[in-house]
Homo-oligomer: A and B are copies of this chain.
Amino acid sequence: MREVAIIGCGMTKFGRRGDRSLIDLMVEASVKAIEHAGIDKKRIDALYAASMLCGELTHQTAIASALADELGILPAAAERLENGPASGGSAVKNAFLAVASGLYDFVLVTGGEKMRHVAGDVITDLLATMSHPTAEYIHGVTLPSLAAMFARLYMKKYGVTRKHLALVAVKNHANALKNPYAHIHRPLTIEGIYSAPEAEVNNPVVADPLRLFDFCPVTDGAASVLLCPAEKAREFCDTIVVISGIGHATDTLAVHEREDPTILKAVRLSAEMAFKMAKTSPKDIDVVELHDAFTILEIAESEDAGFFEKGTGHKALEEGVTALDGDLPINPSGGLKARGHPVGATGVAQLVELTWQLRGEAGKRQVEGAEQAFSCNLGGFGNNVVSFVLKRVR
C-alpha cells in the first residue's frame, strides 16, 4: 500500500448559505483545495463526492458527475459516497484506497450538504431515515431523542451532569470564535446556559435532558481535501501530512440491541484499527476532532476512542484537558457543535481542520507543535464509524 498525503484543503464558510446551491458550495471548497495544493487541475484523476441527502434535499442525484463537470476536470472518474453522517469519512477512506492501491495519483474528495432551505421538521425526519426502520423510525424515534436517551443512561452510570454537557458547548463555541469558517460565532458562558436564573430561558429543553445548546446546528457548507502519494507530495508542500491510519467499523443499527448502549463499540473498534495501522496510540495524539453532533457524544467518544478511561471524559473536560490550551485539545475548529454540521461535509471538514493544525496553518486556534492528529466521524447513532490518524512526516 502506498503512503498517502493530504496536499490541499479547502472549505466554504459554514452557515446559512441561501446564496449558493449545493454544487456551488462544493465547487468553492474544491477550488480552494486545488489552489491550496497549487496543482494544475488537469492532473486530477478522480473525484469522490460525499453527501447524505443531496437527492432528498436538492433534488439532484449523481452529483459527482455534476461536480466533475463544473470543476472542468473531465474525464476524471467520479462517484458519491453516502454513509449517513459518516459520508465524508467514507469518501476520504475510498479516495485513500484509490491512491494507496496505485490506481490513481491525484484524487479530490469533496463533501457537502445544503440543508437550511428546508423546514426543520423535514430535516429531523430525513435524518431519522438512518435509524432502524421498524425498530426505531416507525415508532417516532429521531436522532435528538436517541441522543437524549443515551445522555440519560450516561449521566446515571458515570455521574455526568447537565453542567458537563454545557461545558462542551461553552468550549466548542469559544473555539469556533477563532475559526472564520465556523457557522456559529457566539460566545457562551456556563452561567448563561446553565447556572444563571435566565439559563432556563436561554437554553430551553429540546429532548430532556438535552437542551438547545446540546445540539449542533443545521448547516450549509462544503469541505475538500486533495490526496496524492506521499512520494509526490514534496512538489506541492513543504510540510507533508499523511493519512497514517484508517479504521472503519459498524455496530447494531438499533441502539437498544447493544449490550451496553453507553459504549460506542464502533468508535472503539475503528479507533483501535486506525491507531494500529498508524503504529501509534492515543497518548501520542496532539489534537483531535470528534463528532459532537450532541454534546454528550464528545464526552463518550473521547473515552471510547481511547483518550480517557470510560466514565472519566467529563472529568478531563472539567479540568480543561480538552480545551484549546489543554493537554489534548478536542474540536479546536468548534466541532459539529459550533463549526456546524453540513452532514456530508463533516468527515472531510474534520480532516481539513487537522491538516491545517499539523501544517501550522490554523491561525488563532493553532495547537502549537502538533505532530499527530485523530478524527472520528459517526454515521447513524454510533453504528458506523470512520476514524483517521494523521501525521506530519517532514
Which among B60, B78, B84, B126 is the interface contact of A133 at CB below 8 angstroms? B60
* A291 sits at the interface (CB 8 A): no
Which among B56, B79, B100 is the interface contact of A55 at CB below 8 angstroms? B56
Q: A82-B80, A101-B100, A266-B75 are in contact. Are A133 and B66 (CB under 8 A)?
A: yes
A68 to chain B, nearest CB (A): 5
Label chain A's interface by main secondary structure. Answer: mixed
* A97 sits at the interface (CB 8 A): yes
Which among B74, B81, B94, B102 is the interface contact of A252 at CB below 8 angstroms? B74
* A372 sits at the interface (CB 8 A): no
Please give, as numbers and ranges, the residues of chain B lying within 8 Å of A265 by CB-CB distance.
Answer: 75
A1 to B60, CA, bound (A): 35
Q: Is the CB of A126 within 8 A of B83?
A: no
Among A75, A246, A379, chain B packs the most CB atoms within 10 A around the CB of: A75
* A39 sits at the interface (CB 8 A): no
Please give, as numbers and ranges, the residues of chain B lying within 8 Å of A124 by CB-CB distance.
Answer: none
Which residues of A242-259 have CB atoms within 8 Å of chain B's CB atoms? Answer: 246, 248-254
A100 to B102, CA, bound (A): 9
Which among B61, B82, B130, B269 is the interface contact of A75 at CB below 8 angstroms? B269
CB-based nearest B residue for A2 = B101
A66 to B61, CA, bound (A): 21
CB-based nearest B residue for A23 = B133
Q: Is the CB of B94 within 8 A of A103?
A: no
* A362 sits at the interface (CB 8 A): no
Please give, as numbers and ranges, the residues of chain B lying within 8 Å of A97 by CB-CB distance.
Answer: 94, 97-98, 101, 103
Q: Is the CB of B55 within 8 A of A129?
A: yes
Residues 78-111 of chain A: 1 if any B CB is under 8 Å from the residue's CB, otherwise 0?
A: 1111111010001001100110111100000000
Q: A129-B59, A133-B60, A384-B64 are in contact. Are A79 and B81 (CB under 8 A)?
A: yes
Residues 150-167 of chain A: 1 if any B CB is under 8 Å from the residue's CB, otherwise 0?
A: 000000000000000000
A41 to B80, CA, bound (A): 27
Please give, as numbers and ranges, the residues of chain B lying within 8 Å of A61 by CB-CB distance.
Answer: 52-53, 56, 82, 84, 126, 129-130
A145 to B238, CA, bound (A): 52
A64 to chain B, nearest CB (A): 6
Q: Is the CB of B103 within 8 A of A83?
A: no
A254 to B100, CA, bound (A): 33
Q: Is the CB of A79 within 8 A of B94?
A: yes
A269 to B46, CA, bound (A): 14
A126 to B58, CA, bound (A): 12
